[in-house]
Structure 1
């Protein structure tokens, strides 16, 4: 069994190591909107009953309209991590070459669970630096767009060309758009009907600030979604999650985008004011490159501020958004105390 991947979060462990109560820490280690949306009313029956089909269908229609996926009704899933785990099973059961002959390309560095899931299932995984390095030997390719953690983005036309190339070699393209809500122009959802060898994953909790809901959506042609639904089993997504999706995906989200943009500007001001070099990111997180990254990380932990460090890029730190200007000032003051 492979070792677990260190993700963002982990305030409990950080507080155990550096002191303080978890609730008093400033968690900047994730790429989640720190200003969660106001929750609409959830009818009492939704809590009382198992999630019936009408709740699923309503959430799927709302997601179709929100993502612009045409005739495709996106499948609600209990967090996109749940379907990442199913990709090896999808590949093994598809018309692609036998598992022993199949290679997977993951444009890297990126979210580590893709490589982990395929490697654990026995697939050969190639970490490639760009989509141009995806070759004829690959039967599935993963592109996170925009990418986590460096924020690289590929235009839709480039990914469509990659899809067509993958299809010509009997392969699948998986595009993870977990951070795509803030820049809808990057999304392939509106083209999904005509791209039969494409699977798109969308996160719900990051943009709406409701990561604890554990909700995402998969967009693909019907047979792939049917298999995902079968493998996930009945009632895989809770009734309250479905009800919230139906309500929130139908609302005007422009105010959410403006708030995220404001918080992102605040973070950039703090980081540049502290003399840190911004190396990438999206509106939901920023990556800085600094040879003192490990020392800065420890220094911030001592001030009960958690950011994300990386074992594969030891000069990187990823900063998520702070919830308000007061938290920006708290971060800025801690960075100013760092001994250079």
Structure 2
């Protein structure tokens, strides 16, 4: 299996070259297929460096969205960069929940996988995603705070909430405090459907925020990322509508999969994981019909499906899945 597709979502151009075909559907990424529509109407002055005041405004409006004071929020050019930089700052031994993002295993040297039983009973620094990728498992906020209390005097809880925006009930971003060894990472591109903006946030104690700013330098984001993020987080009408729509679309995907005998798992409305006898064969069958999904080299029975954009896309996916 080509690493273009098993390392992370995307790789649509490589898929076109490898499989041929036209009119591709990309279900590999877990990104909202209904993107925030205001980006195209925004204009940017590409001759000026981004204003610090504009960056501060973005962080303030994002902080309000996360339910935390602005001083605890640092904007970064994508949450993955935030994860890696924070891992360098925290250092020391760490565990990460697996399966999850590969970045979690790389962000702190010496981190090792931990099962759910280990995570609940052992101290030290712990890295996890909530909701988790790729299985969509969600831990409620009370249980997450219990995990934080178990970290001990030297451990940190580092929580990747890249998929939390669709249903923020489990988020513990509001629990970040200078007295807590807690860092939360948020992604803009997934919920707002604009991954190419490369915008994310680290929600952390002020000392971590200050250290991140020092490493990021004076202009960490483009003018476009600042303007798009600021306007999108202020669009509460679109946010409310998206939070209402995504679970309904996910329920339609679930119903289709169950009609065909698949058992979808996960509570994140932006993707579903299915377990099949030969996921690579199913991936290939879909790809030869110009539908890209997300396989996993280490889990040959797993295939992750992003949310189809509309009824026609859902019907096309169903037709290929049924043609076995």
> 2 CA distance for matches of 1:71 and 1:267?
37
Residue of 120, 128, 141 corresponding to 1:143? 128
> 1 CA distance for matches of 2:118 and 2:8?
28
SS at 2:42's partner residue?
coil
SS at 1:277's partner residue?
coil
Give the match for residue 169 of structure 1.
Answer: 153
Give the match for residue 57 of structure 2.
Answer: 58
Displacement, 1:36?
A: 0.6
Give the match for residue 98 of structure 2.
Answer: 108
SS at 1:279's partner residue?
coil
Q: What is the TM-score with the length of structure 1 in the denominator?
A: 0.88
Q: Note the 1:77-156 alignment, pairs <5 A.
A: 77-92=76-91, 102-118=92-108, 123-130=109-116, 132-133=118-119, 138=124, 140-156=125-141
SS at 2:150's partner residue?
helix
Displacement, 1:132?
A: 4.1
Closer, same or farther in 2 for the Cα pair 1:70/1:44, shift >3 Å?
closer
Q: What is the TM-score with the length of structure 2 in the denominator?
A: 0.92
SS at 2:273's partner residue?
strand
Displacement, 1:104?
A: 1.1
Pair 1:243 & 2:227 matched:
yes
1:110-156 C-alpha deviation (Å, 9 max, x unpaired): 001121233xxxx3222011164366673x21010010011111121
Displacement, 1:162?
A: 2.0
Give the match for residue 210 of structure 1.
Answer: 194
> 2 CA distance for matches of 1:318 and 1:229?
35
Displacement, 1:246?
A: 1.4
- After alignment, is 71-80 or 292-301 more displaced? 71-80
SS at 1:255's partner residue?
helix
1:86-113 C-alpha deviation (Å, 9 max, x unpaired): 1332024xxxxxxxxx421101110011
Displacement, 1:322?
A: 1.0
Give the match for residue 35 of structure 1.
Answer: 34
- After alignment, is 12-21 or 175-184 more displaced? 12-21
Q: Note the 1:257-276 alignment, pairs <5 A.
A: 257-276=243-262
Give the match for residue 284 of structure 1.
Answer: 270
> 2 CA distance for matches of 1:281 and 1:287?
10
- After alignment, is 187-196 or 199-208 more displaced? 187-196
> 2 CA distance for matches of 1:131 and 1:143?
13
SS at 1:174's partner residue?
strand
- After alignment, is 220-229 or 194-203 more displaced? 194-203
The answer on whether the counterparts of 1:109 and 1:129 sit within 8 Å (CA) in structure 2 is no
| Structure 2 residues without counterparts, runs of 5 or longer | none
SS at 1:249's partner residue?
helix
